[in-house]
Chains A and B, each alone.
Chain A
Amino acid sequence: MLRTTLIILAIFVALFVGFVIYDLKTAKRRRETYRTKSSITAYLMLLPAVILAFLFILLPILYSLGYAFTDYYLLKPNDINFIWFDNFKNFFEELKTKGTLYNAIKNTLTFVVGVVPLQIGLGLLLSLFVNRPGIGSKIFKVCFFAPVVISLSVTSFLWLQILAAGENGLLNSLLGVFGFPPHDWLRDPKTAMPCIIVLSAWQGCGYQMLIFLSGLSNIRKELYEAASLDGANIWRKFWLVTWPGLRSTFVYIIITVFIGACRILTQPMLMTGYQDHTVTLSYYMYQQGYTFRWVGQSSAVALIMTIFIGGITLIQRRIFREKK
């Protein structure tokens, strides 16, 4: 493992130094003496960041990519063999049994389909609500953004109290006032994932609100004035002025929310544990790697997930591309 790391590091260093030499030689050939000096300074200043990026971003990615084609079992770290596509074969074989992996994919898709529109919709509504002058709007901004700064673990525990089974659960107590019997929200397969979707949308919508607000601030006020003069009502103003003005912001938000939603792990892990009705692909991947000790299999799932997320993101970019 260490030898591999050193080889990768040597290749990386060689490539980096090669690039620096090439760049400096090109600059010299063009007699850009000022550029040469500044380039050297720039590369030196870049060096710590490059080393850190290599160690903590590039190296883990390369390792994960490599492990996906091995039989790396956590208890046998010194006995790693290439098994090529066997992990991927296992993945599809397990999928056929319609067991936990099948449920993980189904739950992840359910979560994505539920949380993306809900979180973005809520974020947009909140941004429109607070995008008005007045003292109240600032207070609301802080209130709506507050869940974002609280860690997901804390919010998950908070919602565990809200959704607790029995009469002591906050939600059940509230519903009890109206005569509803207590419900086990997180153990009932029908309600567990919707609860996680609502919690996640609530937790993240404040951040999307902030991004939408920055988008709203870029829309010129004259456009609204012109629309008013043309007799447009509030809905027409939104549809013809606000929405087109928020297009690029919306594309950014939909891509980031989609990627974040595909990676959901903390909420089901803390709120329900590894259960078929809430397990997600990231949780499955974690469980394969850490609990079941199959690092190779876990890396293969990560690779499949990356390809899936990357593919959908490219499709999204194509769909939302600005027409010239």
Chain B
Amino acid sequence: MKKLLTSILSIMLAVLVAFGMTACGGGDDSTDADGNTIVKIMFHVNKTSTEGQAYLKRINAFNAAYKDEKIKAQGIFKARTAGASGYETELLNNQIEGTLADIITFDAPNTAAYAKSGLLYEISSLIPTSEQEKFFSLNKYDGKLFGLPIQESSAGFFYNKKMFAQVGINVSGYTAENPWTFEQFKNVCAQLKNAGKTAVDMRIDATKDETAPYLLYPFIYAAGGSFTDSTGYTATGYYNSASTERGFQFIKDLITEGYTSYEIGATDFFTGKVGMYLSSGWTIPDLDNKYKDFFANRDDWGLLPYPKDVAAASATGSWSYAITNNHHSNKEPIVKLLNWMTSAESSKAITDATGMIPARRDVQNDYAPGSPEYTLLKQLELSGRERPVTVAYPTFSTTFNQVITGLHSYSVATLLSTATNTLQLEMNRLQNLA
């Protein structure tokens, strides 16, 4: 019996030791057998996707260019199969395991939280100011630079030109340089409604993820409102201000006046049932290729900018690159890869694959004036406003969605009061976090 017990104990101890050894393992994996310095970069897309292939090509080009310097980039592709939070879970697991890639891609609104938590490495001094100025936007927190955007985005109102012509609406004067006003927007909606059409799909039903906050926050800035102070730790007095309330009231008015509704189907605009559709640049390929029965070519649809009230404001922000605070102390080869991936050449190659707007001003493009791409780019340049930079961004996004859904049943003031309290409580907790 003693023999058997000793065996059991030995097996258990062996399991414990093996478990411990596996977990404590690791060490420096930044060089390969050939003496190349390995720089790992983690992407949020599938390797086989168009975007993934574009990244891969740029990595291969980097490896060819830096062969003599013995720097080798390795791409890790973790598709967001379970949404953005699934990708974040992967990132955090890597952080715990000590296997964090040297460069990661991340969604721009996470900048503040990631930077504050120490996940990201500050790159203010590593990227020259002259280079920084070439980007439309930067991933900054507390005045310090933590990331560079992969590409940019902007949104606007796609509209059915045939329907507008039938109703007798002329919107040719509304451009990114000369945006229409809230009142003019409502007038167009009224004309469409009076003609028996559903005027606009404001995407107010897209409140289960980031879609509604991304597409609708510019209305609040356009009305002169805001969400937080510049530190990102105060919501009271901003999120529930009179101007912010006016911005949300504009959206509520569109619902109560019957210009938009929560019931509009996902394909109603594409099948000619709705006059306008609020969306980002990713809708352009769909309209170009998928709905030929309703939109044979670009003569059948157009893109209008966001309307303005006291100011012009439009949506911006996409995914970015950042260097992580992992155990690799030599950041020089990592910065070289970052510069490569954010160069004008890479920016062009990646946006050509994704259909998004290049993150850099110096990327050559041949957008014809008046084209949807031109409108988005001009709008980005002239009125692009980023989403609030706050460590409590997930709570902001959640409360924003709650307000948009709540417009169905409650007053804007009531909704904003609750949302502000919730966001402020979270900000206080995060501020107290060491």
A residues with CB within 8 A of B: 1-2, 6, 9-10, 13, 17, 20-21, 24, 28, 36, 40, 43-44, 47, 71, 73-79, 81, 90, 93-94, 97, 99-100, 164-168, 182, 184, 187-189, 272-277, 287, 290-294
Contacts and interface: CB of A to CB of B under 8 A. Distances in A.
Contacts of B264: 166
Contacts of A184: 262-263, 408
B263 A97 contact: no
Given A73-B433, A274-B398, A24 B262 contact: no
Nearest to A276: B402
B418 A276 contact: yes
Contact of B422 (A28, A78, A99, A277): A99
A40 B434 contact: no
B119 A75 contact: yes
A17 B422 contact: no
Given A168-B263, A189-B409, A276-B406, 18 more contacts: A2-B24, A6-B16, A6-B19, A13-B12, A17-B8, A24-B1, A75-B113, A77-B95, A81-B434, A99-B425, A165-B261, A168-B265, A182-B263, A275-B401, A275-B405, A277-B409, A291-B394, A291-B398
Nearest to B116: A75
B138 to A, nearest CB: 21
A90 B398 contact: no
Which of A2, A17, A93 has the most C-beta atoms of chain B within 10 angstroms of its own C-beta? A2
Contacts of A10: 16
Interface residues of B, number: 46
A75 B92 contact: yes
Interface of B: 1, 4-5, 8-9, 12, 16, 19-20, 23-24, 85, 89, 92, 95-96, 113-114, 116-119, 207-208, 261-265, 394-395, 398, 401-402, 405-406, 408-409, 418, 421-422, 425-426, 429, 433-434
A323 to B, nearest CB: 48
Contacts of A188: 408-409
Contacts of A81: 434
25 contacts: A2-B23, A9-B16, A43-B8, A71-B433, A75-B92, A75-B114, A76-B433, A97-B421, A97-B425, A99-B418, A99-B422, A99-B425, A165-B262, A187-B405, A272-B405, A273-B208, A273-B401, A274-B401, A274-B402, A275-B207, A277-B409, A291-B85, A291-B394, A292-B426, A293-B113
Contacts of A272: 405
A36 to B, nearest CB: 7
B263 A40 contact: no
A2 B114 CA distance: 23
A189 B125 CA distance: 52
B135 to A, nearest CB: 25
A13 B9 CA distance: 9
A218 B92 CA distance: 53
Contacts of B113: 75, 293
Nearest to A167: B263
A187 B262 CA distance: 9
A77 to B, nearest CB: 5
A75 B94 CA distance: 11
Which of A40, A90, A100 has the most C-beta atoms of chain B within 10 angstroms of its own C-beta? A100
Which of B4, B85, B114, B401 has the most C-beta atoms of chain A within 10 angstroms of its own C-beta? B4
B298 to A, nearest CB: 30
Contacts of A47: 8
B416 to A, nearest CB: 13
A17 B207 contact: no
B65 to A, nearest CB: 34
7 A-B pairs closest in CB distance: A166-B263, A75-B117, A273-B208, A165-B263, A187-B408, A2-B23, A77-B96
